[in-house]
Structure 1
Amino acid sequence: MNQTQSPTLPIQEAESPILSVRNLTTSFRSDDVWKPVVRNLSFDVPPRKTVAIVGESGSGKSVTSLSIMRLLPKRSSYIEGQINLGGQDLHTLSDDEMRRVRGRDVSMIFQEPMTSLNPIFPIGKQIAEALTVHKPLSRSEARAEVIRLLDKVRIPNAASRFDEYPHQFSGGMRQRVMIAMALASKPKLLIADEPTTALDVTIQGQILDLIKTLQDEDGMSVLFITHDMGVVAEIADECIVMFRGEAVEMGPTENIFLRGKHPYTRALLSAVPKLGSMTGRSLPLRFPIVDVLTGDMQPQRDVIDTVAQTKSPVLSVKNLTARFDIHSGIFSRKTAAVHAVENISFDLFEGETLSIVGESGCGKSTTGRSVTRLIEPVKGSIVIDGHDVMALNRPALRRMRRSIQMVFQDPFASLNPRMAIGTAVMEPYLEHGLGSRRQAQEKAADLLEKVGLKADMMRRFAHEFSGGQRQRIAVARALMLDPKVIVADEAVSALDVSIKAQVCNLLLDLQQSLNLAYLFISHDMAVVERISHRVAVMYLGEIVEVGPRAAVFENPQHPYTRKLMSAVPIPDPSRRTLKRELSVDELRSPIRSLKYVPPVREYREISTGHLVLLN
C-alpha cells in the first residue's frame, strides 16, 4: 500500500476525538540505519468508544501504543508525526510534562501483569503510589480510594487484600489490579496492550466484561490491542487491521467482519476457530488457510478416520494421583499437600486426539508430565505401548520415553539458544544410539521438510526463527524417536492466530501420515473442538466430564464445562454489547490437610462414552 494512501478513521462530527494520531512513523536504529516499523499511521479514538488495533506479532501494533505513550528508548527509536491527546500534542511535551500526562490523562495495561507489578511491595501500596503521584492524598485517604478501586474492578474481599503481594493473586486477579492502577486517576483514555492473551478463557471473558462495564460507568475511551479477532468482535466499535507496519484496513467493526476487503483481514478472520462450527461432524477438521498477500484459500484435504478402537490403547491411565507436599515451620515438616491430580483414568488410542481442557491450576499439565514420569505420581497405573511405566527403573524409563514425547508451550525455552537447530533436532536420536550422525542428519533434514521448514535451515539458531517456526522445530525434534504418543502441552497457546492454525493443521497431517496419538492439553475450547476426537474436562485435579468431542460440545452436562464454553469469544460483532456476567471467584485452592480423604467419585453415562461426574 502506498504510504500516502494509508486509511484513516474519520473524526466524529459531534465531538472531537480523545486521541488523534496523524502520519505516525516509528523507526528503530539498526546497524546505523533507521528502519521504519510503523509507517504513516493515522486514526482517531472517539469519546466513550473502543478502537481495536489488530494484527499478528511484528505488525507494529504494540510499537504504536508505546509510541503514543512515549515509552520507547530515545537512543534507538525515532518518532515522527502528530499524537494529539485531548487537544495536546504529546510529541512536543518535555519528559516531565509527559510523566504527568501518563496515568492522569492516559493509562496503559500490559499483557503480563507480573512483569508490571513490583513483587516486593503489597498491591495496595503500588496502587496508592499511582494515586499520590497525581493527587495530594493522606495515607488514610489513599487507602480508602485504593479499596474503592479494588471493589470497582470486582476483586472479592478488597479491604483484606490491600496488604497482599502480587504472587498471592491469580493471573486474572493480577490483571484486575493493573486495571485498578490504570484507572486510579480517572484517565480519558485507556490503552490495553494484549491484556487477555495470557489468560484462561473464563478469566479473559471476565476481563472483557470488566472493561466494557468500566467504560460504561466512567465514559472513558479504550484503545485495545490484540491479535484475536474474536476479542475484537466482542469489544471494539471500530477496528484497525495492521500488517507489516501499515494499516491495511480500517472501519466500523461490523464492516471489517462482514465486508473486509484486504487479503490479510480475510486471512485473520478465516483462521479464527468458531465454537459450534463442528456441529454435525464426527472427525477433526483442518483450519482454512488464506494467503495473506493474495486472499486465495489454500486447498484443504479431509481428515481420514485412523482411530481403531478395537485395538488395545497405546496409552492407558488408571487412578492416576499426583500431589505436591507443602513443608513449613522451623523444621520444614510436611503440613499439607497440593492435590494436583486426583484419581483420574482414561485411554488413548492410535491415531486419536484426546484433549484435556481446563483453567490454569486444574491439573492438566501435571497429568501430561505424570504420564511421562517427568513428575512422579503418588499412585496409579500408566501403561504406554505395553510398558508399565510406574514399574520401570531409570534406564528402562529412558528407553520407554522413545514411545512418548512432549511438545511444550514455549519452544524458545525448550530449545538451547547456543545450539544450532539441526543439532537440537538430532540430539535425541544420537543420545538413544539409534544410528550414526549421518543417519541423524538425514532424518532431521527429512523431518524439517515434513513440518514445513527447509533442510538448509539446520545451521541456524533458535532466535533466527519466528514463534511458529520454533514450534515446528520442537515438533520435528519430538518425532525423531518415532514416538507412538505426543503430549502437546499448550503447544499452540502462545502463537498468533494464523500461525496457530498452521501448526494445528501440521499436527493433523502428521497424525494421519504417522498414525500418532495426541494427548492435547489446552484451555482454548475453540481449538479443542476443531482438532479432537475425544475431550476430557478437568477441574481441581479431577475429570468432571469426558466423552466424544461432539457429545461434550453439543450436549455439555457439567456446569464447569458450560462455563468454559460460554466464555469463548465469538467473532460476531453483534455480540459486542453482550456481557456474560461470569463469576469472578478464583479457582478454589487444591491444597488439602494431611488428614484429608478424597471422596469416592461416581460418574453417570449420558450416552456411549460420554460420562459426567456426579456432584
Structure 2
Amino acid sequence: MLLSGNDSEQGGGSVAPVLSVKNLSTSFRVGDEWKTVVRDISFDVAPRETVAIVGESGSGKSVTSLSIMRLLPKKTSRIEGQVFLQGRELVSLPEEEMRRVRGNDISMIFQEPMTSLNPIFPIGKQIAEALTVHTDISRAEAKAEVLRLLEKVRIPNAKGRFDEYPHQFSGGMRQRVMIAMALASRPKLLIADEPTTALDVTIQGQILDLIKQLQEEEGMSVLFITHDMGVVAEVADRTIVMFRGDAVETGATDDIFHRGKHPYTRALLSAVPRLGSMGERKLPLRFPIIDIKTGEQQQLAEVTDTVAKGKTPILDVKNLTTRFDIHSGLLGRKSGAVHAVEKVSFDLFEGETLSLVGESGCGKSTTGRSITRLINPTSGDVVLDGYEVMKLDQYTLRKMRRSVQMIFQDPFASLNPRMSIGSAVMEPFIEHNLGTKKQSRDKAAGLLEKVGLSPDMMKRFPHEFSGGQRQRIAIARALMLDPKVIVADEAVSALDVSIKAQVCNLLLDLQQSLKLAFLFISHDMAVVERVSHRVAVMYLGEIVEIGPRAAVFENPQHPYTKKLMAAVPVPDPSRRSIKRNMSTDEIKSPVRSVDYVPPVRQYREVSVGHLVQVA
C-alpha cells in the first residue's frame, strides 16, 4: 500500500523525493521457513523533510531502516520491493556500489553509540576514517574537517578531545560524535534509529535541538525511528505508525496527533504522559489504556489515598553519605573519592510514593542501593521498618531485606536465564524458609495472576517473555516476601510507551491493595509527575529540592529542577519549530580530592513540606 504521496511544491513544480520506498517487505529465515516481519511498506521522504517511523518494539521500524541501508545478514534475511535514493535503486545494487552509498549519500545514527564506536581508536581517527574512505583527502585536511565537525556538533574543546577515546566521553557526547561521523560526507539522507532513547532527558533535548539545527544548515532529509510520541511531535513533518510489521496509519504529524484514526495510534498517544497535566491534583493518576483492537478506552478505578498520615515513617533516612575511594599510583594510595551520595535526608510513609529524579550520575540509584545495603554507605542513619540498617549484622540484614525489595531497570539481567520463572519467583520465599514448596508454588501462582500473568506460565523461561512481561515477573518476585517498601530503580525506563503505562498502573494497583511504599527512581519527569505523592530532585549526590508533587511541578524553585522540566519532550506538533537553546555542558564530576570538605547546605521552605537548597 502506498502511504505517502508527497506533494511538496517548490517553484510551482513537484519536487522529486530524496528517498522513495515502494512495497518493501523483509523476511527472516526461521528454520526452514521465511517469516515476514515488514509487509509491503511504501513512503517517500522529500528534500529537507523529516519523516518519523513510530511504533513499539517488534513493530518492524528498525528492520525497515536496516533494510533501506542493506545492513541485514544476507544468508538469513530477504528484502523485496524497491528503494530509490535520488532515483537510484538500492535493493538490486551490487554490494561494492552499495558500500560507497553507505556513509556517503546516506548515513545512520544508532541507538547505542558505545557499541557503534571502536573502543581502541581515538574518536578523531574514527571520524577521519569516514572521510578518507569516501573522499580523496590528505590527513591534515581530514583532521581540519573533523575538528570543524566536532565544533559543529557542539563538543567543547574539540581540539583537545580529538585524541580521546569513546570511554572518556559521556553518553550524550558519544552520540554527538556519532552525529559528526554521520555528517562527515554531507549525506543527502540521515537515518536516526532511536538516537535519544538511552539518554537522559536534558541530553535528549540537546540532541534533538542539534539534529534540527544541523538539518537546517546542511539541507538534509531525516528518517527518524522512535517509539516516543513526544519526540515525534518535536521533530517530524510527517509520521508513519507501524504495528506488527504493517504501516497502519500515515499523514502529517499534526493530523496524526489530533485526528489519528487507527486504534493503535490512539493507544500510543493516550499512553504518553503530558508534563503539567496533573495540575493541583494531590494523588497519583493511572494512565489511560486504549484497547488496540476496538479503540475503546478501558475504565480505570480512581486512585484513593493510601498514605498513612501521622504515623512513624516506614523509612527514615538522615544524612546518608556514600563515597567510593579512588586509588592511583604505583602503591595504590587513596587519591580522591567519588562523592556519589552526600548527606541525603528524607522519609517515606506507608502507602506513599516518593520519586527520586535526576540525570545519570546524580546518585539516585546509589541512594536506593545504600538504603538496602547492597552498597555499604560511608555514614548516616537509615531506619527501615524499625531496623537500624547501618548497624545490622549479616543475619539481621538478611531478615531486614524481607521488608524491602528492589525492582531493577533490566529484568532480563536480574532473572536467571537457566531458571524457570516459577522457580525464580518462588526462590526468595524458599531461601527465607517461610513455608513449604507447595505453599511457595501457590503463592507464586497467585502473585503472577495479580500482576496480569497466567500461573500456567510458571514452567517457561525468561527469554520466552516480552520486556513488559519480564518486568511483571520481577515485580511478582519482589512481592513474594510481603515487603513494606519497594525500591523501583528505573523500573519502567526501558519499556515501550504503552507497556510503561500498563506497568505504572500495575504498581499503583498494588500500592492500593497492599499499602506498599515506593521509592521510585527515575529520570522521566512526565512519568514521575503521574505516579508520585512527593518528589525529590537530586544533583551531584545531593537533594536540591523536595516536596509534594504538585508543589514541585507547579512551582519549581531550583534552577536544576527547572532545567529538567524544560527538557521534557511535549507531545504537541505545534512546538516543532521551538528550540530550547539548552546548554551543552556535561554534568559536573562528583570526584573530589582527599582533603575536600563538603559545604554545609541550607534549605528554605517555600511552602508546607516544599524545601529548596539555598545556593
- Normalising by structure 1, we get a TM-score of 0.99
What's 2:541 paired with? 541
Provide the residue aligned with 2:175 in structure 1.
Answer: 175
Secondary structure in structure 2 of the residue aligned to 1:503:
helix
3-state DSSP class of the match of 2:459?
A: coil
> What are the equivalent positions in structure 2 for 1:74-113 lying under 5 Å apart?
74-113=74-113
Partner of 1:71: 71
CA distance in 2: counterparts of 1:332 and 1:221, whole angstroms: 53
Q: Work out the CA distance in 2 between the residues paired with 1:368 and 1:126.
A: 38
Q: Deviations over 1:316-358 (max 9, x none)?
A: 0000000111111111111010000000100000000000000
Correspondence for 1:378: 378
The alpha-carbon deviation at position 8 of structure 1 amounts to 3.3
Does the 8 Å CA contact 2:6/2:46 hold for their aligned counterparts?
no
CA distance in 2, matches of 1:9, 1:563: 40
Match for residue 577 of structure 2? Answer: 577
1:363 alignment partner in structure 2: 363
- 1:301 aligned partner: 301
Letter matched to residue 10 of structure 1: N
**Shift in Å at residue 137 of structure 1?**
1.7
Distance (Å, rounded) in 1 between the aligned partners of 2:7 and 2:368: 52
The correspondence of residues 161-560 of structure 1 with structure 2, limited to 5 A, is 161-560=161-560
How many angstroms apart in 2 are the aligned matches of 1:240 and 1:294? Answer: 20
**1:285 and 1:303 in contact (8 A); partners too:** yes
Q: For residue 568 of structure 1, what is the aligned residue in structure 2? A: 568
Does the Cα contact within 8 Å between 2:316 and 2:383 map onto a contact in 1? Answer: yes
Deviations 1:34-80 (A, max 9, x none): 11100000000000010000000000000000000000001110000
The CA deviation string for residues 91-143 of structure 1, in whole angstroms up to 9 with x for no partner, is 12111101100011000000000000011111111101111001122221111
Query: How far apart, in 1, do the equivalents of 2:130 and 2:399 lie?
Result: 56
- The C-alpha deviation readout for 1:520-556, integer Å capped at 9, x for no partner, is 0000000000000000000000000000000000000
Tell me the distance in 1 between the aligned counterparts of 2:565 and 2:87: 44
Query: Hey, what does 1:30 align to over in structure 2?
Result: 30
Please tell me whether residue 612 in structure 1 is matched to residue 612 in structure 2: yes
Cα RMSD over matched residues? 0.7
- Structure 2 residues not aligned, in runs of 5+: none
Cα distance in 2 between the residues matched to 1:166 and 1:446: 47
Paired with 1:10 and 1:33, the residues of 2 have a C-alpha distance of 36
How far apart in 1 are the matches of 2:575 and 2:444? 47
Distance 1:17 1:612 in 2: 53
CA distance in 2, matches of 1:25, 1:87: 19
- Cα distance in 2 between the residues matched to 1:363 and 1:286: 28
Deviation of the 1:6 alpha carbon: 5.5
Cα displacement (A) at 1:205:
0.3
Shift of 1:218: 0.4
Is the alpha carbon distance of 1:87 and 1:324 closer, same or farther for their aligned partners in structure 2, counting shifts above 3 Å? same
When the two structures are aligned, how many residues end up with a matched partner? 611
SS at match of 1:381: strand
CA displacement at 1:571 relative to structure 2: 0.5
- For the 8 Å contact 1:356–1:519, the answer to whether it is kept is yes
> How far apart are the structure 1 equivalents of 2:378 and 2:310?
31
Distance 2:453 2:21 in 1: 40
Letter in 2 for 1:7: L
**Residue equivalent to 1:7:** 3
Amino acid in structure 2 at the alignment position of 1:541: G
Within the alignment, does 1:56 sit opposite 2:52 as a pair? no
Are the aligned partners of 2:444 and 2:480 in contact in 1 as well (CA < 8 Å)?
Answer: yes
Counterpart-to-counterpart distance in 1, 2:257 and 2:59: 19
SS state at 1:119 partner:
coil
1:4-53 Cα distance to aligned partner (Å, 9 max, x none): x4633435452100000000000011121111100000000000010000
Q: Is the 8 A contact 1:53 1:226 kept in 2?
A: yes
Partner SS for 2:178: helix
**Superposed, which structure 2 residues align to 1:577-596 within 5 Å?**
577-596=577-596
CA distance in 2 between counterparts of 1:304 and 1:433 reads: 35
Q: Could you tell me which amino acid in structure 2 is paired with residue 8 of structure 1?
A: S
Q: Give the distance between the partners of 1:49 and 1:91, measured in 2 at CA.
A: 23
Q: How far apart, in 1, do the equivalents of 2:207 and 2:586 lie? A: 13
Q: Give, as a single letter, the amino acid of the residue that structure 2 aligns with 1:574.
A: S
How far residue 309 of structure 1 moved from its aligned partner, in angstroms, is: 2.2
- Does the CA-based 8 Å contact 1:11-1:17 persist in structure 2? no
Q: Is the contact between residue 2 and residue 22 of structure 2 (CA under 8 Å) also seen in structure 1?
A: no
In structure 2, the partner of 1:126 is: 126
Question: Which letter does structure 2 place at the counterpart of 1:173?
Answer: M
Residues 6 and 247, structure 1, Cα contact 8 Å, conserved in 2: no
What letter is aligned with 2:265? T
Describe the SS at the equivalent of 2:136.
Answer: coil
1:92 alignment partner, SS class: coil
Q: Amino acid of the residue matched to residue 104 of structure 2?
A: R
Q: Distance in 2 between matches of 1:562 and 1:433?
A: 48
Q: Deviations over 1:402-421 (max 9, x none)?
A: 00000000000000001000
Give the match's secondary structure for 1:191.
strand
State the AA in 2 paired with 1:354.
L
Paired residue secondary structure (1:276): coil
- CA 1:450–1:286: 2 relative to 1, 3 Å: same
Q: Distance in 1 between matches of 2:5 and 2:510?
A: 44
What runs of 5+ residues in structure 1 fail to find an aligned partner? none
Task: Write the distance in 1 (CA, Å) between the matches of 2:232 and 2:135.
Answer: 34
